């Protein structure tokens, strides 16, 4: 059974800015909580299991569980956050994984890595992004620890600071991506690994590349995006819309809120 780890947004707010989307917009916490519960219920409705980690006061971005690490075959490589505001999140996530009997890999000091924000597993491959939040060396170590072949992509647009803001696996054969956010030469590394479908800047700004597969159904943040119709009509990909608009105020969406474990 597919399983996802989520963290409720009890303390979610935008009190600091560590990416271009965080401009201090006030969070409607009741709406954020309702949207988060809708995401949780949708994942369960699609036949997956959900585990929860308790939120911690003073760590508003802990809600973005995907940034805590990356899990493969009961091994988790823990993140080392770039910004001071988020560093304390990891000790709570690490404790959760220890209590749940995962094999823990801690990266060496001095490098940064932000988990599934910048990395995803595709078959025997690790597709990783670097340049803003994660270091290339961290991706190399992570791929080795998980016994996966690394395909690294340099990110080149600060608005799309994590790989999961500009790249998303939408099936076992295809992924969507925003071409202007990734080094064009690096994109060529994925030839023969996965077929790529480009999205427009408008769709990228709607965080369509932060969608998430759950049991072969793609959870998307906006049904009205151009790429949504293309995926359904041309590629036969089932989609389900989950509105997480409050979380976009912090530069995150569906994938950011969910860590596949």
| Positive/negative CA dihedral, 53, 59, 64, 65 | negative
pLDDT tens per residue across span 49-91: 999 999 999 999 999 999 999 999 999 999 999 999 999 999 9
pLDDT tens per residue across span 143-194: 999 999 999 999 999 999 999 999 999 999 999 999 999 999 999 999 999 9
**Lowest pLDDT segment from 1-10, 16-25, 39-48, 86-95:** 16-25
Confirm whether 162 is a catalytic residue.
yes
- Cα(190)–Cα(205) distance, integer angstroms: 23
From the candidates 7, 116, 166, 256, give the one annotated as an active-site residue.
Answer: 256
Query: What pLDDT sits at residue 64?
Result: 98
- Cα(14)–Cα(100) distance, integer angstroms: 31
Check whether 24 has a pLDDT greater than 90: no
- Cα(176)–Cα(210) distance, integer angstroms: 10
Confirm whether 45 is a catalytic residue.
no
Q: What is the mean pLDDT of the chain?
A: 97
Question: What residue ranges do the domains of the chain occupy?
Answer: 3-260
Q: How confident is the model at residue 200 (pLDDT cuts 50, 70, 90)?
A: very high
- 3-260 fold: 3.75.10
Contacts of 212 (CB under 8 A, 6+ apart): 168, 218, 219, 254, 255, 258
From the candidates 116, 162, 166, 168, give the one annotated as an active-site residue.
Answer: 162
């Amino acid at each position: 059974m597919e399983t996802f780890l989520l963290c409720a947004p009890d303390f979610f707010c935008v009190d600091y800015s560590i990416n271009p989307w965080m401009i201090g917009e006030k969070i409607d916490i009741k709406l954020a909580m309702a949207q988060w519960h809708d995401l949780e219920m949708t994942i369960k409705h699609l036949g997956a299991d959900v585990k929860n980690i308790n939120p911690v006061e003073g760590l508003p971005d802990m809600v973005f569980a995907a940034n805590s690490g990356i899990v493969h075959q009961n091994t988790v490589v823990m993140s080392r956050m770039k910004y001071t505001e988020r560093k304390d999140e990891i000790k709570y996530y690490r404790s959760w994984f220890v209590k749940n009997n995962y094999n823990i890999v801690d990266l060496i000091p001095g490098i940064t890595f932000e988990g599934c924000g910048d990395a995803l597993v595709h078959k025997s491959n690790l597709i990783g992004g670097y340049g803003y939040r994660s270091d290339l060396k961290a991706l190399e170590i992570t791929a080795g620890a998980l016994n996966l072949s690394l395909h690294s992509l340099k990110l080149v647009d600060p608005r799309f600071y994590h790989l999961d803001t500009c790249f998303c696996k939408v099936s076992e054969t295809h992924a969507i991506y925003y071409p202007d956010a990734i080094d064009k030469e690096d994109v060529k590394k994925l030839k023969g690994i996965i077929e790529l479908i480009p999205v427009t800047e408008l769709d990228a700004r709607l965080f369509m590349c932060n969608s998430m597969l759950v049991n072969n159904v793609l959870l998307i943040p906006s049904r009205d995006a151009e790429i949504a119709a293309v995926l359904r009509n041309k590629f036969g990909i089932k989609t389900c819309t989950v509105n997480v608009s409050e979380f976009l105020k912090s530069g995150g969406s569906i994938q950011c809120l969910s860590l596949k474990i």
